[in-house]
A and B are shown apart, each in its own frame.
Chain A
Amino acid sequence: SQQGEEDPQALSIQEGENATMNCSYKTSINNLQWYRQNSGRGLVHLILIRSNEREKHSGRLRVTLDTSKKSSSLLITASRAADTASYFCATAPGDDYKLSFGAGTTVTVRA
């Protein structure tokens, strides 16, 4: 079963704008990870945030985690055409090691 659910399902923005997507999950977690998937390719790991962390940055990416609301957000700042991809959150439940992926958010960056 899919533990995480991303919102929105799809997002279209202009180059240079920021893109925000959210992930909600159901049970306690060890960590939450975000991945990117370009069309026809495998998933690429972006950021891992542990359950005791609240915010993490990597280049133009910012991830927040609110364990009280069981939610996370991924912000991409100053988007580029190359950011066009599907973004997935993945969670590792607190009592299990298995990583479960959501259905993803498809981001389209228009030039």
Chain B
Amino acid sequence: EAGVAQSPRYKIIEKRQSVAFWCNPISGHATLYWYQQILGQGPKLLIQFQNNGVVDDSQLPKDRFSAERLKGVDSTLKIQPAKLEDSAVYLCASSSAAGTGFNSPLHFGNGTRLTVT
């Protein structure tokens, strides 16, 4: 099966600019996640979708970050305006089951590496 696709792979922007990342999950996976991974740290969950509804966005900085999942398939994550501390790898993941606490592994894309200068 095809894996989780993400684009772009790399993005360099100046602070206060905006940026968008795109994710196409594995076909048929209902649950989609966006994680932020700062260099040297583990991934931190930003937002979780179940089909096209938001399940959890408690750690999403909503003043500058937004995400949507139209038609319950592809998803985009946007940052506007970007700050220096947003430099990180943004990982998209999907799983087939509802909720990660119920024995369902996550499948990750290769991420988008964002550098904010």
Complex: A57 Cα to B105 Cα, angstroms: 16
Residue of B91, B108, B113 with most partner-chain A CB within 10 A: B108
Q: Is the CB of B109 within 8 A of A98?
A: no
B-contact 0/1 string along A86-111, CB 8 Å cutoff: 00101011001111111110000000
Give the chain B neighbours of A31 by CB distance below 8 A.
101, 103
B-contact 0/1 string along A31-71, CB 8 Å cutoff: 10101000011111100101000000000000000000000
Q: Say which residue of B44, B91, B100 sits within 8 Å of A42 (CB atoms).
A: B91
How many Å from the CB of B107 to the closest CB on chain A? 7
Q: How many residues of A contact B (CB 8 A)?
A: 26
Q: Say which residue of A35, A42, A45, A97 sits within 8 Å of B101 (CB atoms).
A: A97
Interface status of B61 (Cβ within 8 A of chain A)? no
Minimal Cβ-Cβ distance residue in B for A94: B101
Q: Is the CB of A30 within 8 A of B101?
A: yes
Give me the interface of A with B, judged by CB distance under 8 Å.
2, 30-31, 33, 35, 40-45, 48, 50, 88, 90, 92-93, 96-104
Give me the interface of B with A, judged by CB distance under 8 Å.
4, 35, 40-45, 48, 56, 91, 93, 99-103, 105-111, 113
